Amino acid sequence: MSKNTRYKSHEADENGLVNWSAQENEIWAALLQKQCSLLKGRACDEYLHGLELLNLSPERIPQLAEINSVLIKATGWKVKQVPSLINFDEFFHLLANKQFPVATFIRSNEEFEYLQEPDIFHEIFGHCPLLTNPAFAHFTHTYGKLGYAASKEDRAFLARLYWFTVEFGLVSTQDGTRIYGGGVLSSPGETIHSLESDDCVHMPMQPLDALRTPYRIDIMQPIYYVLDSFDSLFDVAEMDIMDLVTQAKHLGLYAPRFLPKEKQAS
C-alpha cells in the first residue's frame, strides 16, 4: 500500500455529510457518464444489477448514508469513511466487519483515465454495486477475516489474490468475457485495455497462480485472471486459502510480465 498521496479526504460535517465542491461534482458527473457509456457489453450482469440498485446520481457525488441504505438491506455491508490512505490492519479489520473503506476525495482531471489511489469514484462506482451481490460480499468478508489474522508476509500474497479478483478480475459468461473488478470498472482506460488490447493476456483463474503473480499499480495490467462463473467466487472463498498461501511461498513468484519501475520506458 502506498504511503504517499497528494490527495486529502474531506471531513464530514456534524450531520455526517461531505460538502463537495461544484468542480468535484463535475468530475464525478463526467466519470459516471463516460463509464456508463463503456459498460454495456463489458461489465458483468451482477455488477450492472448492483449499479441499478444503487441508483447513483448523474450530477453529484453520493453521500455515504445513501449507499449504506442499499448495501445494508442487500447483504448487511456498509461503507465507512476513511482518510486517503489506511494501513493494512485497518483495511482488513473493516472488511472482516463487513465495512468497506471509502476515502472521501475524488481524482483530478489530470488523472481522469486512471488513478493509483482509491478515490470515492473507484470505491462507490467500482466496488459498491457488487457488494449487493451475495457471492462477492461473502468472498470479500472471508478475505478480510483471513487478512486480519495473517502475518505481514502472508498479507503480501493475499494482496495478489485481491488484486486479481476484487480489483482487476474478469469473468466468463455465456455472452463472452466481462469485467467485475472495481479497478477496471472505475477506469475508462483500463476498461478498454482489459478486453480489447493486444498488450495483455487472459488466464483462467487458479487462486494459487494468482497468489504467485506479481503486479504493478501504476500501469495498465499485462495479465487478467478470468473466473469461469461469477458464483465460483463462493468456491474460492470456501477454499483453504491460507494453505494455498503456504504453497505459493514454497513455489515462489512467477516472473513478472512487466519491467521494473525504474526501467519502465518513458
- List, for residues 185-204, the tens digit of each pLDDT value: 999 899 999 999 999 999 99
Q: Give the DSSP letter of residue 204.
A: E
On whether residue 1 sits in a domain, the answer given is no
Domain count, the chain: 1
Residue 175's domain spans which residues? Answer: 22-251
Asked if residue 265 belongs to a domain, the reply is: no
Distances, alpha carbon 96 to alpha carbons 47, 87, 89, 254, in Å: 22, 14, 10, 29
For the chain, the residue count is 266
pLDDT tens string 78-130: 999 998 789 999 999 999 999 999 999 999 999 988 888 899 999 999 999 99
Q: What's the pTM value of the predicted model, to 2 decimals?
A: 0.93
Strands (DSSP E) found in the chain: 78-82, 99-103, 170-173, 176-179, 201-204, 223-227
Tell me, yes or no, whether 10 lies in a domain.
no
Binding residues for Fe cation: 122, 127, 167
Residues 147 and 197: beta-carbon distance below 8 Å: no
**Is residue 8 in some structural domain?**
no
Tell me which residue has cell 506479481. Answer: 214
Q: Which residues are annotated as a binding site?
A: 122, 127, 167
What mean pLDDT comes out for the span 211-231? 96
Residue 183 lies in a domain: yes
Reading the block at residue 129, the C-alpha cell is 454495486
How far from each other are the two terminal CA atoms of the chain, in whole angstroms?
A: 24
Tell me the CATH number at 30. Answer: 1.10.800.10
Tell me, yes or no, whether 226 lies in a domain.
yes
Cell numbers that stand for 125 in this block: 462506482
